[in-house]
Amino acid sequence: MTERLVIIGNGMAPGRMLEHLLEAAPDRYQVTIFNAEPRVNYDRIMLSPVLSGEKGYEEIIIHGDGWYIKHGIMLYKGHRIVAIDRAAKTVTSDHGVTEPYDKLVIATGSVPFIIPVPGNDMAGVLSYRDLDDVNSMLLAAQSRAKAVVIGGGLLGLEAAAGLQSRGMDVTVLHVMSTLMERQLDPAAGYLLQKAVEARGIKVITKANTKAIVGNGKVEGVELADGTIIAANLVVMAVGIRPNAAIARDAGIETNRGIVVDHGMSTSDPDVMALGECAEVGGQVYGLVAPLYEMARVAASHLAGEEGARFVHSDTPTKLKVTGIDLYSLGDFADGDDREEIVLRDAAAGIYKRLVLKDNRLIGTVLYGETGDGAWFNDLKKKQTDISEMRDTLIFGQAYQGGSPLDPMAAVAALADDAEICGCNGVCKGKITGTITSKGLTSLDDVRAHTKASASCGSCTGLVEQLMSLTLGDSYNPTAVQPMCKCTDFGHDDVRRLIKAKGLKTIPEVMQELQWKTSCGCAKCRPALNYYLVCDWPDEYADDYQSRFINERVHANIQKDGTYSVVPRMWGGVTNANELRAIADVVDKFEIPLVKVTGGQRIDMLGIRKEDLPAVWSDLGKAGFVSGHAYAKGLRTVKTCVGSDWCRFGTQDSTGLGIRIEKFMWGSWTPAKLKMAVSGCPRNCAEATCKDVGVICVDSGFEIHFAGAAGLDIKGTEVLGLVKSEDEALEVIIALTQMYREQGRYLERIYKWAKRVGVAEIKRQILDDADKRTAYYDRFVFSQKFAQVDPWSERVSGKDKHEFRPMASVGFAEAAE
């Protein structure tokens, strides 16, 4: 008989518990989850990269909506449990939903500690625990004003780095004399402070906060010595406390947290607890590795395996701030019964300290060079006698055995039970064994099957080395394929770092990302130019010298060195005046060939390069602008005549096509973008093989995307049906902006969709109205700053307004 399992909380620990449980006993429980947050399960470890801009929320989701549907799990989002009735064995949410259980798992996590000073409840005071906190900080960061972070521990420093990368003036206040004093010794804390300050973040240690000052909203922080630091935002990151209130109110034994045994059972045998809310063996935990071990143990007991026990082990500490390498593990306090080995390299910014007791490693602090962290962790865990390697121990694994090993050989020398991924407790043998047994060939596959490097990602390099060792020359890590010979970074990393580091010129990108050439090449310069245009539309000036020749002269070069010019005809519609102007240009410049294109326009071929400015001048007088037949951008919106003329037409397809084209004209995209609108399912405009297509039906507008009809032939995917023209426009614009922001340069939309996932695109564009609106608004914002082509787009201010979204009023004046 199926049992009823209810889980309170939907964080990383219960998510991992369910993964184990579904593998061990997939049909034993009917699962219901109540999540106080209004969203699915995501990786909280990666909130700092989301704050800094290195990742988006979608990239840190662990289990999307489809996962819960697939496994028949009922997830109540935004439901906080307010009562547990142990006698009736039910839980009740703040929305009035009552659910019975046979087994209950409490995983309510922790709550941030807010220091009890005057003003701590003022507007502008935030904690740093979940995505809502991050979103609030991102909103505050738009002001580019001043922020104070109280707390110089892991979370505080990550918050400070994220806010600083978003343009805020940040000060960190820390009550102790050195940063991260629980994880670092004073020497490493000193180096960390220097590195943080080098990023432009002010650090004040021995800072005792007296009050938060302001008139209704934060204006500053007052210290005990009377100093007042101006601030528009205060982030408290001074610690957490187990969220045990719901268990305490239900009469379950609590101490600091919810007291559990080594099988994760509470004082009520039908109730378990795990994660940051649980206290096991007198200890509570905040790092992910022990929480995942709790998850494994709890799942085993729920599946009927009573022998599983939680065993404490030290977990390494790593700081998730780009450019700061730090590793700390174990006990590094001073004592008469221990000795230490220290290595300092001031020029390189390296500090290493090993603490030994009875010739066993008990503590490690590494700063600046952390590659041997996994090896030191293995020595500590196994309590290896290091007597024979005492003299070379500090230099790391590569220097053991007489002669230095290269990094690959050092990884090969690790024992199979050596821990590679501390977050998920994954050893070398599991990774290599899974690669071999399942025929894995990509890093994503290894992450999916082993969880190695799937959390904080700091062990990714080690995992890739193991893949190279196991697969040999057949391993081709596409995730790290560089853009070109000028850099070791791939497109995704370059784009992520442009945003994260606030890089706003091509020279700045090349300097900060250590380009190998002085000025780039024909591959990377156009890509960088596109990324900067898209990411900083209001600040970056489009560099036409970094565009291909066709884009620079607004015409397509032909095999004989002449050019073809294609003026834009909105939706394929023209008139006598336009046709007469084209005929005059053909005669005047003796253009040898005039051809109708597949995109319902007229192409004039065989024009000499020196005639191009004059050709465009004459066409501009007739109101023509470039059809962008050469562009990595919108080219055409093909239409049929629709309901105005055709007896089968259901909607005004011509009008919608013209509206879309005028709205999007001048927008750059990663690759060429072709669209079509067909007035009925007979599809005369061939909308089902375009990058974006619309099929008009009686009930509205069916949106298609990700088709191809060039080197690759591919039918479109159906995004969904909308009822009105306005909705269709919003969906198409949002879809285009999502592609603009996530597509790699020269990556067609169908290839991007395959990489990102059609289901994910549907979720963001159709299912999430707020996200769709945000994409739409960013597109409109970028169009305000779309730049006028110097030759082809000489149109009047009146005409320019007609071709732009209503939100772009002021564009023409700026252009003039």
Rounded distance, CA 134 to CA 142, Å? 13
CATH number at residue 670: 3.30.413.10
Rounded distance, CA 722 to CA 736, Å? 17
- Is 446 among the domain residues? no
- Is 434 among the domain residues? no
Q: Which domain holds residue 511?
A: 491-547
Residues 138 and 54 in one domain: no
Please give the pLDDT value at position 348.
77
DSSP assignment of 467-525: HHHHHGGG---GGG--SSTT-S--HHHHHHHHHHTT--SHHHHHHHTT-SSSS--TTHH
pLDDT in tens, 147-194: 999 999 989 999 999 999 888 999 999 999 999 988 888 888 898 999
Residues 640 and 742 in one domain: yes
Q: Which amino acid, one-letter code, is at 159? A: A
Residues 185 and 284 in one domain: no
Q: Pick the last residue of a domain from 547, 574, 593.
A: 547
- Is 385 among the domain residues? no
Rounded distance, CA 733 to CA 660, Å? 8
Residues 226 and 133 in one domain: yes
Q: Pick the last residue of a domain from 263, 285, 302.
A: 302
Residues 775 and 648 in one domain: yes
Please give the pLDDT value at position 85.
97
Residue closest to 639 by CA, chosen among 599, 586, 673: 599
**SS3 for 569?**
coil
Residues 698 and 763 in one domain: yes
- Phi, then psi, of 404 in degrees rounded to 5: -60, 145
In this structure, what DSSP letter does residue 253 have?
A: -
Residue ranges in the chain modelled with pLDDT below 70: 322, 401-410, 476-480, 786-816
CATH number at residue 570: 3.90.480.10
Q: Residues 234-250, buried b or exposed e (16+ Cβ, 10 A)? A: bbbbbbbebbbebbeeb
Cβ atoms of 775 and 783 closer than 8 Å: no
CATH number at residue 24: 3.50.50.60
Residues 534 and 574 in one domain: no
Name residues whose C-beta falls within 8 Å of residue 436's C-beta, 6 or more positions apart in sequence.
470
- Is 380 among the domain residues? no
How many domains, the chain?
A: 5
Residues 704 and 735 in one domain: yes
Rounded distance, CA 226 to CA 541, Å? 46
- Is 804 among the domain residues? no
pLDDT in tens, 209-238: 999 999 989 999 999 999 999 999 999 999
- Phi, then psi, of 545 in degrees rounded to 5: -70, -15
Residues 204 and 269 in one domain: no
Please give the pLDDT value at position 806.
27
| Rounded CA Rg of the chain | 30
Residues 671 and 773 in one domain: yes
Residue 793 burial (CB count, 10 A): 23
- Is 354 among the domain residues? no
Residues 622 and 666 in one domain: no
Residues 51 and 185 in one domain: no
- Is 407 among the domain residues? no
Please give the pLDDT value at position 322.
64
Rounded distance, CA 638 to CA 599, Å? 6
pLDDT in tens, 318-356: 877 767 888 899 887 777 888 989 998 877 788 999 999
- Is 203 among the domain residues? yes
Rounded distance, CA 51 to CA 286, Å? 20
Residue closest to 660 by CA, chosen among 616, 622, 617, 696: 696
Please give the pLDDT value at position 788.
46
